[in-house]
Amino acid sequence: MDYGERSLIIHEQLRGKIAVSSKLPIDSQDDLSIAYTPGVARPCEVIAENPDRARDLTMKGNSVAVVSDGSSVLGLGNIGPLAAIPVMEGKAVLFKQYANIDAWPICVDT
Catalytic residues: 36, 91
Partners of 102 in the β-ladder: 63
What distance in Å separates the CA atoms of residue 82 and residue 5, rounded to the nearest whole number?
19
- Quick one: 80 exposed, middle or buried, by C-beta within 10 A (0-12, 13-18, 19+)? middle
**Type of residue at 104:** W
Cβ count near 39 (within 10 Å): 13
